[in-house]
Structures are given as structure tokens and as C-alpha cells.
Amino acid sequence: MDGRGLLPVGVESPGDLVGRLADVGYLADEGLATAAYLGLRLHRPLFCEGEAGVGKTELAKALANVLGAPLIRLQCYEGIEASQALYDWDFPRQLLHLRTAEAAADFDPTAVEAELWSRRFLVARPLLQALETTPSVLLVDEVDRADDEFEAFLLEVLSDFSVTVPELGTLRAEVPPAVVVTSNRTRDVHDALKRRCYYHWLDHPEFDREVAIVRLRVPEASARLCEEVTAAAHALRDADLLKPPGIAETVDWAQALAALGAPGLDPGLAAATLGAVVKYREDVERVRTLDVGALINRAVMGA
């Protein structure tokens, strides 16, 4: 190994990576940057777990931007199978090829058969695509939605970054892709898979970082609006809601208010745009009982 792994030129420490990620609009804290740094350098997948909307998927996109590599995404769902994640044979094309070859004058069954099971008739699904694309960033999104059998299979691919196709042989990645695996923790993912990865738990960011993220994402919003929206979102997280707002919701809310041309957050506007942050009827009712104005004031003062 060259010892640098996939690290881009000029990145010598996690701190450098924080800078690069910020350049592409992702504000990582030290822990996350360290995890990503180690993952890139030592060719290990990064296992990100955390609440919905804390930026797990965004991290993969940002890494792809930093590396200048394509992002290959595998969205997991219940019942996902190897043929949807790894590869599949293109039977109709094989058939067509066979019929065409038969029609030709010099039909040689052995040669045609060898052709039928060659790489050109293999349809690469995301995992194989990522192994064959150098460099690339592979995002295995919401792995907790897939069945546990699928985990075992994923483990096999992520352990040695190679795939064995019985008819074709072993396909190995020259340079392993950068891998980000995300989970919303709807169930416990098996230890064996986590062991292959660096495990990072993402929390909601602290106030200043979140304000910075909102300002970066919603440049059209005023500084005051960003701070007030973030303060209100933080207050809502403490307000005992069914679904506390994530960063994505804070950004959506700021965007909605900026689109209305609001210079700051006031109770009337907050009530009108509440649908951007609060997604349950019970939560809406709960928030209506809170004094939004006082909430913002207290949060801004406290921050």
C-alpha cells in the first residue's frame, strides 16, 4: 500500500480534511473528520449512525466532491437481494446474441457459449460498479432496512473488496472505493459488519456549528434569520416532540422563511411555516401551546 490511501493531495491530518469538506459545503466536527480521514487512509468503511437528518448521507456526497469521484449509491430496503446490489446477468441480451450467432454462417457453439458468459453480458449493480470505478465513493444508505442476511453478504464484499462470479471468476477492486454505510438504528446491525468499519455516532451539532451550516446552505437568508431559526429549532428539540427537527428541517425552515422575505423569525411567520420543521399533527398541537416568541428570545439570549 502507498500509505496514503485515498487521501487527496495536501490532506495530511483530520484538520486538513475539515477544511476540504468545508470548501464543498459540509461542516464536519473533529470526530467525524477523524473518522473520514482514517477511513480514506486505511481503506476502511465508515459506519455512520444517528438520528434522521444529522447529515449522514450528506457526508458521502461531500466526500465524493472532495475526492472528485463519482458517488455510487445503494439504497437498502427490505428484501434487497444480491442481484439488485451486486450484479445480474443480462438474459435477454444473451438470448439475442445467441440467436444472432446461430443465424451466421460460421456458427461455433463453443465459442458462442464462452462469449455468452463474458463481462459484456454482466449488468453491474452499485456494489460491483463501485469496485470497478476508481476512485469512487460508495454510499450504502440505511443498511438497517435490509434483512440481516444481506448484511452478511455486504460484509463479504466490504472485507476484501472483491466479488466472485461463478461463471467469470473473481473481480477485484484495484483501489478499494471509499465506503460510507449509514443506519438510522431501526434495528441493531450485526457486530461483525460494524467491526469491519469505523463506527461513528452523529449527534445534533451544537448551536454555532448549526448556524454556520444554515448560513452556508441558505445564503439568501439574513444572519439574524439564521440564528433565530436555529435557536428555535434547538428549543423545539428540547420541547418533547415525537419527531424533533434535524438539521435538514432547520435548513428547510430557513429556506421557507427566506423565500417569504422574512428578516427574522416572528410568531406569525413561525406558525405559518411550521410545516417545514414539525411533521406530526400531535407535534403541531404541542408547538401551538408553546409561546414561540418567548422560545426564540430565550434561545437567542441563552446561546
Partner 1 sequence: MRADPAGEWPAAAAARLIAAGAGAGARAGEDEGVGDPVRVLVGLGRALDSAGLRVGPDRVAEAVRAAATLDPTRRTDLYWAGRLTLCANPDDLPKYDAVFAALTAGDVPRLRPRPQHLVRAVPVALAVPDGGGDDEETEAGAETVLRAAASTVETLRHKDVTTLGAAERAELDRALAALSLPGESRPSRRRRPSPHPGAVDPRRTVRALLRSGGEPVRPRWTRRSVRPRPVVLLVDVSGSMSGYADVLLRFAHAAARRRGARTEVFTLGTRLTRVTREMAGRDPERAMGAVAGAVPDWSGGTRLGALLREFLDRWGQRGAARGAVVVIMSDGWERDDPAVLGAQMRRLALLAHRVVWCNPRAGRPGFAPLAGGLAAALPYVDDFVSGHSLAALEQLARIVAGVEVRGA
Q: Which residues of the chain form contacts with partner 1 (CB under 8 A)?
A: 13-14, 30-31, 34-35, 37-38, 41-42, 49, 77-79, 81, 91-92, 94-95, 98-99, 102, 144-145, 184-188, 191, 194-195, 198-201, 242-243, 282
Give the nearer residue to partner 1 in terms of CB position, either 44 or 234: 44
Distance CA 78, CA 146 (A): 5
Minimum distance from CB of 289 to partner 1 (Å)?
Answer: 14
CA 140 → CA 45, 167, 252, distances in Å? 10, 26, 25
Minimum distance from CB of 164 to partner 1 (Å)?
Answer: 20
Give the nearer residue to partner 1 in terms of CB position, either 23 or 148: 148
Minimum distance from CB of 73 to partner 1 (Å)?
Answer: 19
Distance CA 85, CA 107 (A): 35
Burial of 140 per CB tally in 10 Å (0-12, 13-18, 19+)? buried
Give the nearer residue to partner 1 in terms of CB position, either 168 or 216: 168
3-state secondary structure of 265: coil
Placement of cell 449527534 in the chain: 203
Minimum distance from CB of 88 to partner 1 (Å)?
Answer: 8
CA 21 → CA 47, 63, 133, 150, 212, distances in Å? 18, 7, 22, 31, 14
Minimum distance from CB of 97 to partner 1 (Å)?
Answer: 10
The grid coordinates listed for 41 are: 487512509
Distance CA 69, CA 50 (A): 25
Q: What sign does the CA torsion over 254, 255, 258, 260 have?
A: negative
Minimum distance from CB of 199 to partner 1 (Å)?
Answer: 5
Pick from 195, 266, 201: which is nearest to 50 by CA?
Answer: 201
Q: What sign does the CA torsion over 291, 292, 296, 302 have?
A: positive
Give the nearer residue to partner 1 in terms of CB position, either 38 or 216: 38
Give the nearer residue to partner 1 in terms of CB position, either 228 or 249: 249
Give the nearer residue to partner 1 in terms of CB position, either 91 or 259: 91
Minimum distance from CB of 44 to partner 1 (Å)?
Answer: 8
Q: What sign does the CA torsion over 234, 236, 240, 245 have?
A: negative
Give the nearer residue to partner 1 in terms of CB position, either 41 or 73: 41
Minimum distance from CB of 227 to partner 1 (Å)?
Answer: 26
Give the nearer residue to partner 1 in terms of CB position, either 133 or 184: 184
Distance CA 250, CA 236 (A): 10
Distance CA 238, CA 107 (A): 74
Give the nearer residue to partner 1 in terms of CB position, either 42 or 223: 42
Minimum distance from CB of 52 to partner 1 (Å)?
Answer: 8
